[in-house]
Amino acid sequence: MINVRVFISTISAERFWEIDRPFPRVKISTNLNVVGVEKKKEILEIPFVFTINYVPAVAQISIKGKARVNGDKKELEKIYSSYREKKPPPPAIIQPISNIVFIESVLISRTVNIPPPIPLPQIPQISQKKQSEPSYRA
Of 8, 6, 12, 10, the C-alpha closest to 109 is 12
Structure confidence by residue, pLDDT tens digits, 82-134: 999 999 999 999 999 999 999 999 999 999 988 888 765 555 666 555 555 55
Angle subtended at Cα 99 by Cα 8 and Cα 41, rounded to the nearest 5 degrees = 55
Contact at 8 Å (CB) between 118 and 99?
Answer: no
87 C-beta neighbours (distance < 10 Å), count: 10
Of 44, 42, 62, the C-alpha closest to 52 is 62
What local confidence, expressed as pLDDT, does residue 25 receive? Answer: 80
8 C-beta neighbours (distance < 10 Å), count: 15
Of 65, 52, 76, 69, the C-alpha closest to 100 is 65
What local confidence, expressed as pLDDT, does residue 122 receive? Answer: 55
What local confidence, expressed as pLDDT, does residue 136 receive? Answer: 58
